[in-house]
Chain A
Amino acid sequence: MAEHALRRERRTGNLSLLIAVPVAIVSIAPLLWALISSLRAGDEIFAHLYPLTWRTVVPESITLDNYIAVLTGPFAMSLVNSVIVAFFSVTIGLFVAAMAGFALAALDFPGRGAVFALMVVSFLIPFEAIAIPLSTSFRDWGLANTYAGLILPAIGNGLSIFLLRQFFLGIPKSLSEAARLDGLSWFGVFWRIYLPLSKAPLVGAGLILFVFQWQSFLWPLLIAPAPSVRVAPVAIADFAQEAGVDYGQMFAGAILASAIPLILLLLFQRQFTNSLASSGSKE
């Protein structure tokens, strides 16, 4: 590239920072504020909110009391519930989606188009839209206030089936044909060839399932309000709507409920974006 073009690019790059940095600050500021608030003594949070002073952002003293209170109280159970529900949603959901994606990509059978059409149709009906009639059925089936009731909606997630199918289509058929001739079962082909080759899209689909469950609010509110199965977002919302809420503890809960997906996102960001690339824009 010509030298002046390079120089121009560097200049526009530095100018771009004038936009990128403020946007990044706006994105992160509410979280930082929640983090700072969670480290303050309960009565200090609102003491310096208004009008704005430097004390608004710098606590007088840092304390972990809110975290200790939250982790030894009933909220700890909600956090554990969220982790249990997310773990089983991701493992079972991923397995079911990968199996379906494998059948739709690797097996040639008449009716494949019809099954794929069923997937697309159910993909068009968003889960949240039918959550209310579904919750009535779930109650009839005795799934109210159970882990199964919370986990099941993540099974048969259309987007993750689609993502994995797209990736599996790129695996050469000759590979599975050869393995079949060597006597490997179809499950063997799936388990020993397709899955090991698909780490990036599996991580991507797993993150989709994880975020779906971790974000879920309406569904757990409807199907699992009992304290023994209550998940973290519902617990925090209940907490915030109580009279005389302890805001320091509420922010500690908010930070804990955000920290787990945050860590996963940072760990898996690269695989996530790579797998999106292979589903979104390439055939």
Chain B
Amino acid sequence: MATPLREPAPARDRTTAGAPAPVPRRRTSRDVWTAALFFLAPAVVALLALRIIPTLSAVETSIPFGTDRALLSNFTYIFSDPDFLGSLRVTLLFSLVVNPIQIGLALALAVLLTKKLPAVGLWRTLILLPIAVPQAVSAIIWLVLMRPDGPLNGVANALGLPSVPWLVSPDVALASIVIVCSWVGVGYWMTFLVTGIRDIPTSLYEASSIDGANGWQQFRSITLPGLRRPLLFVLVADTVSNLLIFAPVRVLTQGGPQGSTNMIMYDISERAYTLGDTQAASAGTLVLVVIVVAIVAVQFRLLPGKD
């Protein structure tokens, strides 16, 4: 599959074998083969070993071939386990909330920060900065910020608002994780969209403002269509990365309180390493891979434009 399987066609005319100048086209094809093999081998080996084989090994672990157990027994088990079902529900709820928030904010900020405003580069850079902080580290900073007696509640009280049980109430904890992830992510996704907007020819905007189009009309008819490809990329990449959230859950809540933040990655890792149930963990891994691939496929279909 990965490396060329067919030999290059042998030279038909062997009488020219000793000729000083071989026909360029035939010679090229042979050394292009060796060159392709040479240049591609490391990446292909790495991708096979680091992506394809572990996926297959998850299949092997989760499906008990050659035993008297039912082939799908690990899947029937996790799909009847309230903890796993809960993690699917929490992950779905989280995705439905966090993706529109992050992409909406990133798009709004990208539009805003490509307009003529004073020190625009400074604001863009400041908003991008949180991505430099490793997720686990930002989670720890927010762990202290969100303590019951922490600065966030200090600010809330100073504004005359009541304290918020950020990480200790099952009703609020998931929202707190949404805040932490968005703090990290919005500036990052915004950067892709800023770049996309800058690629749209300014003449389009100039022409439309001579025609009297207002900002909203320009956004609808110029910015959005022009941004289609970067927006699709951000949509897919953001959705996938939010499905895989691990560090904030592990550092901030450990899936609690009462399973309210038990997202699928955390659930799988708990199964594998705390409970030692590698079969259920592998089944969970495969469910996650199928969800990711399905979502990416649907999103590519939904948005028009393979140009």
Known: A107-B35, A236-B140, A280-B195. A132 touches B269 (CB 8 A): yes
Taking a contact as CB atoms closer than 8 A, the residue among B28, B47, B122, B139 that contacts A156 in the complex is: B47
Label chain A's interface by main secondary structure. helix
Contact B54 A134 (CB under 8 A): yes
| Given contacts A130-B54, A218-B246, A258 and B145 within 8 Å (CB-CB) | no
Q: Mark B216-228, 1 if CB is under 8 A from A, else 0.
A: 0000000000000
With A129-B288, A186-B39, A250-B140 as contacts: A276 and B117 at CB distance below 8 Å: no
**B244 partner, pick from A1, A126, A156, beta carbons under 8 A:** A126
Q: Quick check: B36 and A254 within 8 Å, CB to CB?
A: no
Tell me the minimal C-beta distance from A8 to chain B in angstroms: 9
Decide yes or no whether A243 CB sits under 8 A from chain B. no
Contacts of A132 in B (CB 8 A): 268-269, 272, 281-282, 285
* Interchain CB contact under 8 A, A100 and B42: yes
- A158 vs B236: C-alpha distance in the bound complex, in angstroms? 15
**Cross-chain contact B127 with A52 (CB below 8 angstroms):** no
CB closest residue in chain A, given B234: A280
Q: A137 interface residue, CB < 8 Å from B?
A: yes
Beyond A109-B36, A133-B61, whether A155 also contacts B51 by CB under 8 A is no
Give the chain A neighbours of B194 by CB distance below 8 A: 273
Q: Is the CB of A281 within 8 A of B135?
A: no
| Contacting pair B192 A276 (CB below 8 A) | yes
A76 within 8 A of B: no
- Min CB gap B151→A, angstroms: 5
Measured CA separation A119–B51 after assembly (Å): 10
Which chain A residue lies CB-closest to B144?
A247
Take A17-B118, A24-B126, A269-B125 as given contacts and tell me if A126 and B292 are in contact as well, using a CB distance cutoff of 8 Å. yes
Q: State A104–B35 Cα separation when bound (angstroms).
A: 11
Residues of A within 8 A of B134 (CB): 214-215, 217, 232-233, 257-258, 261
How extensive is the interface on chain A, given as a class? 35 or more
Is B289 an interface position by the 8 A CB rule?
Answer: yes
Q: Per a CB cutoff under 8 Å, which of A28, A128, A136, A155 touches B46?
A: A155
In the complex, whether A23 has a CB less than 8 A from a CB of chain B is yes
Return the contact of A217 from the options B135, B154, B229, B296 (Cβ within 8 A). B135
Asked if A237 is at the interface of the complex by the 8 Å CB criterion, the answer is yes
Shortest beta-carbon distance from B183 to chain A in Å: 7
Known: A50-B149, A52-B154. A103 touches B127 (CB 8 A): no
Q: How far, in Å, is A164 (CB) from chain B's closest CB?
A: 11
Q: Does B261 belong to the interface (CB within 8 Å)?
A: no
Q: How far is the CB of A89 from chain B (nearest CB, A)?
A: 12
B157–A190 touching, CB < 8 Å: no
Determine the chain B residues whose CB is within 8 A of the CB of A282 once the complex forms: 199
Q: Type the 1/0 row for A81-92, where 1 means its CB is closer than 8 Å to any CB of B.
A: 000000000000
Q: Is residue A71 contacting chain B, with contact meaning CB distance below 8 A?
A: no
Q: How far is the CB of A190 from chain B (nearest CB, A)?
A: 7
Contact of B43 with A96 in the complex, beta carbons under 8 Å: yes
**Other-chain contact of B35, A31, A186, A237 (Cβ < 8 Å):** A186
Q: Verify if A122 is at the interface (C-beta below 8 Å from B).
A: yes
| Interface: A277 (CB within 8 A) | yes
Which residues from chain B contact A137 at a C-beta distance below 8 Å? Answer: 53-54, 57
Q: Is the CB of B1 closer than 8 A to any CB of chain A?
A: yes
Nearest chain B CB to A122 CB, angstrom units: 4
Q: Is A265 an interface residue (CB 8 A)?
A: yes
- Complex: A154 Cα to B3 Cα, angstroms: 21
Judge whether B128 and A265 touch: CB under 8 Å: yes
Is A244 part of the binding interface, using a Cβ–Cβ cutoff of 8 Å?
no
C-alpha gap A280/B236 in the complex (Å): 13
What is the CA–CA distance of A217 and B55 in the complex, to the nearest angstrom? 20
Closest B residue to A254 by beta carbon equals B137
Tell me whether B153 is interfacial, beta carbon within 8 Å. yes
CB-CB under 8 A from B118, the residues of chain A are 13-14, 17
**Does the CB pair B43–A31 fall under 8 Å?**
no
| A30 and B47 within 8 A (CB) | no
Q: Which of B68-76, B77-85, B108-116 contacts A (4 or more CB under 8 A)?
A: B108-116
Verify if A118 is at the interface (C-beta below 8 Å from B).
Answer: yes
Kindly state whether residue B52 has any CB partner on chain A within 8 Å.
yes
A33 & B151 in contact (Cβ 8 Å cutoff): yes
Q: Is the CB of A266 within 8 A of B251?
A: no
A153 to B49, CA, bound (A): 10
Instruction: Output the nearest chain A residue to B264 by Cβ-Cβ distance.
Output: A129
- Minimum CB distance partner of B33 in chain A: A109
B206 within 8 A of A: yes
Q: List 5 A-B contacts (CB under 8 A).
A: A1-B209, A186-B32, A211-B131, A240-B251, A280-B196
B-side residues, CB < 8 A to A, are 1-6, 28-29, 31-33, 35-36, 38-40, 42-47, 50-55, 57-58, 61, 109, 112-113, 115-118, 120, 122-123, 125-145, 149-151, 153-155, 157-158, 183, 187, 191-192, 194-196, 198-199, 206, 209-210, 215, 229-230, 233, 240-241, 244, 246-247, 250-251, 265, 268-269, 272-273, 278, 281-282, 285, 288-289, 292-293, 296, 307
